[in-house]
Amino acid sequence: MKYLYSILLVGLLSFSLFAQENGKKAKKENAAFSPARAEEWMAEGMRHYLKEDYDEAILVWEQLLAEMPQEASISFYLAKCYLAQGKSINALKFAQKANELSPYSLDYGLMYGDLLLQERKAKEAIACFLKLIQYDSMQPDVNLRLAQAYLWNNQGDEALKALKSAEPWIGDFPEIIRTKQYIYLKNEQWEEAIQEGVNFVANNPEEPLFAWEQMEYWWHLSTWKGAKIALEQLSVDFPNDGQVALLNANVQVHEKNFAASLSYLERCLADSDMHIELFSQVTLQTFELMSGQGDWDKAYAFLQRAVAAFPKEPRFVAMQGDLWMSISKFQEGQKAYIKAARNGGGKFEVWTRIIQLDFEMNALDSVLVHSKEALEAYPNQGFLWFQMGFAQYMQGKSKEALASFESAIPYVQEKDTWYIQLFALMGDAYHALGNYRDSDMSFEKVLAKNSEEEHVLNNYSYYLSLRKEKLDKAAKMAKVLTDKFPKNGTYLDTYAWVLYQQKDYTKALQYLELALKDEKQNSSTVWEHYGDILFRLGKLEEAMKAWEKAKSLDGASPNLFKKIEKRQIIEN
């Protein structure tokens, strides 16, 4: 491994020579300030500097600078002191002064240029470094910094020239190759970018074939036809290198070749240093190319080998779950997900799949078990609290559901897909517990986010009608839904019932009769409402038939039987 040229350390100044050359100048500036005195002060400041007593060194050197303001070395050491203290602004001021007094000094210029780069002052840094290389155009320390400054100033071609000037001294140092590749890629010079990588591999046999930083350049070039030829040759030269195989698999994914990609992925299994994240990514993309049961069988067999090759990686077991899900084998899929989640700590996304499958199979008890288990690993994942609360609400456990929902609130954001569902269900749960104030507040929170949210418009308006409160508001909300969905029996029934509470029985009957045409939504409640409206309109026999129909359906209310027995509406 070749290393970047180290920055030259600046030695102590020889103040004997300094005194000889500047004696006359010192006398002119201050007749009482002798060269011996200057040397003494400089030595004192250096003693403090070497002991890292920077405040004392600064105090001495600033006094010396006041006596000899044209001496660049004093400003240079003051800059070093302030830099050691982390005071970059002060360091830059004195480094600039040292550079101005001696613009061709390598040490002074490198420090000033480095501070300019630190402050992202690319143009000033370029000017500084260009002066330094006037006497040595091949100076590597300067050219490397100059290349960096050019890059920050969006002068890629100039940066390349600077890097090439440093090459005789630096050689094939990886950082130089990465920088050159970056410039080539930015300029869409694909062949040059790839050639840099090929040269690196050829000239560094002791290095891993592809450092992952190096591999990233190839990764982005996978869709370029020139990359395929180069990578195929590398695959021939290094048949056992998993990283090369993975790059070739990625190329085949872009060419939509399932068999070829899977074949390259097989080679990756023997590489214990494989980058698992990228390997998993390419594997999933390869599976998306499956066509038919034969490909599915090959994919599943491959995953079994991947599980054996990487036993500590639960993601491959989770992928088996994905494969089962792709052919609608839900139970097998969930078993794989659970195994993955419990094998070394499954990812949060795996737990959400497990719980979602519980919901799809209507296994609400399993939702609660798996949610609690997932929350032990991810207590700050609000979506898990939401899922558990949803299951509790569906089981009729409104109090427990609200506790779970409230635990989710600190973690939910308005941009989350489940934000509206959370507060909509909280509105339902609060209403079920008779907490109408918080129920209304939850619904209003949803409507502030989406004024046309169907679940809330329907339930909120219906709850208000049951309470006989804010009926005008309830009517407006219910009417929005019937205008938008004129054949939806549930929404028509809600609006009819609001009209009923407003004692507009004739109009209520019209909407209820429309609701009954939606046979899929005809429930005991709808038929009971129909009977109530008919009764208010003085149509007793028709009301009795409607109530009898309601009694024959599931979910009949206890009050319905009293109506039939008494042949009249029994007020609650």
Report pLDDT for 12. Answer: 26
The pLDDT of residue 25 is: 42
**pLDDT above 90 (res 4):** no
Report the percentage of the chain scoring pLDDT > 70.
85
CA pair distance 333, 316, nearest whole angstrom:
13
156-184 confidence digits (pLDDT tens): 888 888 877 877 666 666 667 777 777 77
Residue 282 has what pLDDT? 93
Q: Give the torsion sign (CA, 463, 466, 470, 474).
A: positive
Q: Helix 540-551 crosses helix 558-566 at what angle (to 10 degrees)?
A: 150
pLDDT recorded at residue 9: 24
What's the DSSP call for residue 520?
A: G
* Residue range 504-527: mean pLDDT, rounded: 93
Q: What pLDDT score was predicted for residue 23?
A: 39
Q: What's the whole-number mean pLDDT along residues 82-87? A: 92
pLDDT at residue 414, as a whole number: 92
Tens digits of residue pLDDT in 402-439: 999 999 999 999 999 999 999 999 999 999 999 999 99
**pLDDT at residue 16 tops 50:** no
* Residue 226: predicted pLDDT: 65
Task: State residue 340's pLDDT score.
Answer: 87
Mean pLDDT of 30-44: 78
Residue 222 has pLDDT above 70, yes or no: no
At position 74, the amino acid (one-letter code) is I
Q: With a cut of 70, say whether residue 33 has pLDDT above it.
A: no
List the helix and strand counts (H, then E) for the chain: 32, 0
CB distance 491 to 458 below 8 Å: yes
What one-letter code names the amino acid at 84?
A: A
Question: What is the rounded CA–CA span in Å between residue 508 and residue 529?
Answer: 10
- Is 214's pLDDT higher than 90? no
Query: Please, which pLDDT band fits residue 515 given cuts at 50, 70 and 90?
Result: very high
Q: Name the token pair of 44.
A: 């004192």
Amino acid occupying residue 24: K
pLDDT at 2: 30
pLDDT for residue 43 is more than 70 = yes
Confidence of residue 386 (pLDDT cuts 50, 70, 90): very high
Average model confidence (pLDDT) across the chain: 85
Q: What is the mean pLDDT of residues 220-227?
A: 65
177-188 confidence digits (pLDDT tens): 777 777 776 776
pLDDT of residue 137: 73
Element of type H or E holding 206: none
Instruction: Give the per-residue pLDDT at 220.
Output: 65
DSSP per position, 80-145:
HHHHHTT-HHHHHHHHHHHHHHSTT-HHHHHHHHHHHHHTT-HHHHHHHHHHHTTS-TT-HHHHHH
Backbone torsions φ then ψ of 143, nearest 5 degrees: -65, -35
Query: Which tokens go with 198?
Result: 């090929």
